Amino acid sequence: MGVQCQDVQQVKSAADAATVTPRAELQGATFAYQEGQPIFRDFSWQITPGDAWAVIGPSGCGKSTLLYLLTGLRQPQSGNVRVDGKPVERPRPSSTTGLILQDYGLLPWATVWDNVRLGLQLRGVPKAQQAEQVANWLERLGITALRDHYPAQLSGGQRQRTAIARTLVFQPNLLLMDEPFNSLDALTRERLQNVVLELILEHGLTTVLVTHNIEEAVFLGQRVLVLNQPPSAATTIFENRHDDPHAYRAAPAFLTQCTELRTLLVGSEA
Ligand SMILES: Nc1ncnc2c1ncn2[C@@H]1O[C@H](COP(=O)(O)OP(=O)(O)OP(=O)(O)O)[C@@H](O)[C@H]1O
Ligand SMILES: [Mg+2]
């Protein structure tokens, strides 16, 4: 373990860079909304397959924008965005890049079951398989009893869990999450953090979690990208790899890392 801040994006090692195609990367990307100030300027960041990243920084620093760039919902004015080695020139299909948005984006006219199922139907997944996968994810996220409810009949946290199920049912190889656990009570939040941890550990899923929450960033981010007020040019990376992720929440090292990250955030605002 250990904390390490780097001013420049580092690939884990030159050997890695030579052999592993990054799952996703920005190369010298500059992005501004319309005529506004750039949010990112000549910004480079690399996500290796299996990486679990958290992205943290003050409101308005560009965290959501970074996810839009990775999914192709926004294009940089200059530089490149690549996923699995290919330039991202249009929005990526949700079967490969899963995006859980801040506002959930559920279909108001569809039940919980159908919200999770419809994407599979559109992709031509056989009916029996659709039902099996939907049932599995509703169960894992603790919303089976709500299967016939419509979004308007759900609490914020229940909507959020439906949105998470709808994304995970595709089994994407890159999962981008924009503050996915915000409206959840503390224990549900921990339970869903554990679900994401299982996905990372058991399925080698590559994840990027945007969060305002320092504890969440340290629990789920084996590496944390710290953004500051725009424009972001260099990356600040907080290294947080540890040996026993399951026991990490209760480990003394967890608290130490939270304190270190808090210090780094406060320092970067100064
Ligand atoms: N569609 C848009 N048009 C113009 N400016 C935008 C647009 N979307 C976002 N911005 C601006 O870009 C900046 C970055 O926004 P972004 O949503 O990426 O921030 P964020 O870090 O996700 O913030 P939060 O933590 O509040 O969600 C902000 O100043 C915001 O006002
Ligand atoms: Mg945001």
Minimal-distance CA residue to ligand 1 atom 28: 60
- Specify the ligand 1 atom closest to the Cα of 212: 25
Q: Residues with Cβ within 5 Å of ion ligand 2? A: 63-64
Pairwise pLDDT comparison (1 vs 52), residue with the higher score: 52
Report pLDDT for 214.
Answer: 94
Answer with the one of 171, 202, 227 that is the final residue of a domain.
171
Average pLDDT score over the chain = 87
Ligand showing the shortest atom-to-Cα distance for residue 178: 2
Answer with the one of 171, 196, 211 that is the final residue of a domain.
171
Same domain, 75 and 206: yes
Report pLDDT for 10.
Answer: 42
Direct distance between the N- and C-terminal alpha carbons of the chain, in angstroms, rounded to an integer: 26
Q: How far is the CA of 128 from the centre of ligand 2 (A)?
A: 37
pLDDT in tens, 65-86: 999 999 999 999 999 999 999 9
Same domain, 163 and 193: no
- Global pTM exceeds 0.85: yes
pLDDT in tens, 232-250: 998 899 999 888 888 898 9
pLDDT in tens, 101-150: 766 789 999 999 999 999 999 989 999 999 999 999 999 888 999 999 99
Pairwise pLDDT comparison (265 vs 268), residue with the higher score: 265
Same domain, 8 and 131: no
Same domain, 3 and 65: yes
Same domain, 182 and 161: no
Q: How far is the CA of 212 from the centre of ligand 2 (A)?
A: 9
Q: What total number of domains does the chain contain?
A: 2
Ligand 1 pocket list (CB less than 6 A): 33, 36, 39, 59-65
Same domain, 91 and 166: no
Same domain, 193 and 227: yes
Domain of residue 244 covers 1-96+174-270
CATH number, domain of 191, equals 3.40.50.300
Same domain, 191 and 92: yes
Contacts for 251 with CB less than 8 Å, ≥ 6 apart: 242, 244
Same domain, 109 and 234: no
Ligand showing the shortest atom-to-Cα distance for residue 227: 1
Report pLDDT for 8.
Answer: 36
Pairwise pLDDT comparison (203 vs 153), residue with the higher score: 153
Q: How far is the CA of 226 from the centre of ligand 2 (A)?
A: 14
